[in-house]
A and B are shown apart, each in its own frame.
Chain A
Amino acid sequence: MSEWILIEQLKQKDESAFKTIVETWQDMVFNTAIGIVQNTEDAEDVAQEVFLQVYESVATFKGESKFSTWLYRITITKAMDHIRKKKRKKRFAFIQSLFGMDNEVLHDPPDFHHPGISMDNKERAAILFRAIGKLPENQKIAFTLHKMEGLSYQEVSQVMNTTVSSVESLLHRAKNNLKKNLQGYYENF
């Protein structure tokens, strides 16, 4: 069935159209989310939030961009919101621990192991993911979309609503920052 027919049916709150849309794009949404939030359970929560948002606001989708571009935008927004919320919680817990209001010990999150990485690359990829997690927001988004989702510079620029040259610059800076971070890691290894 054509994408446009499905979207029109979803605008009428058709449940079967919604199911088809979810089954068609769930892997794309989940893979993007897991690349940004770096946690399987959190990525699942983000993916659920994305499709709930799609169901509620599909009427606002005018078709000026591709449906997948619109989905990528929602996924990135939700994933970044999730990270900010988690950081806020962590900061609050830290303040509570300073005042002795909470006896829970604060732990750094464990290394993230992406389920799609082969066994022999698992440790290296975990080190790389830790470095990706420290990148500024825009660089992280551009890197994730290009390297993990395999989007072209043109597609990344459409999702991020920017120019191709800006994406090139973001990816160049992201790579330099990752190199610096990894050099620091291996020097102290």
Chain B
Amino acid sequence: MQSKKDIEREVEKTLNSLEGMRPATPGPFFFTRLQSHLHKAELNIWERISVFIARPTIAMAVVLAVVLMNTVVFFKHDETAPSIAEQQTEQQYEDFSLADNAFYDYENLEP
């Protein structure tokens, strides 16, 4: 058991034990290690994006948007699509080359 005076002396000595301490320095190649961390952090941005896209709400929203766009395109396409009779006529023109190419003759008149 120490006396009160001894304890106070010990406490004072311990409180002053940081006097004259030198600053601590990091290990060598600190910047090289930091660079590799920086590179990893940049990669993580892409990982974060993929995680964001894979979230159920985002994934469902994307699927719904694709389905909606397909539906819109399908109905629009349906309205503007030529009838079967028109398609058959077009096919006949293509098969028998019934296109009227006479206008070429007006442009290439022999002198």
Chain A interface residues toward B at CB < 8 A: 19, 22-23, 26-28, 30-31, 34, 40, 43-44, 47-48, 51-52, 55-56, 114-118, 121, 124-125, 127-128, 147-149, 175, 178-179, 182-183, 186-187, 189
Contact = CB atoms under 8 A, between A and B. Distances in A.
Contacts, number: 93
A187 B7 contact: yes
Tell me if A's interface is mostly helix, strand, loop or mixed. Answer: helix
Nearest to A178: B15
B23 interface: yes
Contacts of A23: 31
Nearest to B21: A116
B34 A51 contact: yes
A189 B22 contact: no
B24 A115 contact: yes
Interface of B: 2, 6-8, 10-11, 13-15, 17-18, 20-27, 30-31, 33-34, 37-38, 41
A28 B41 CA distance: 23
A125 B21 contact: yes
Going nearest first, the 8 A-B pairs with the smallest beta carbon separation are A116-B22, A124-B17, A31-B23, A30-B26, A182-B11, A125-B17, A121-B17, A116-B21
B21 A114 contact: yes
A128 B19 CA distance: 12
Nearest to B17: A124
Contacts of B8: 183
A27 B31 contact: no
B96 to A, nearest CB: 66
Contacts of A19: 31
A128 B27 contact: no
A41 to B, nearest CB: 10
A22 B7 contact: no
Contact of B25 (A22, A30, A117, A125): A30
Contacts of A115: 24-25
B44 to A, nearest CB: 11
Contacts of A127: 14, 17
A128 B30 contact: no
Contact of B24 (A43, A121, A125): A43
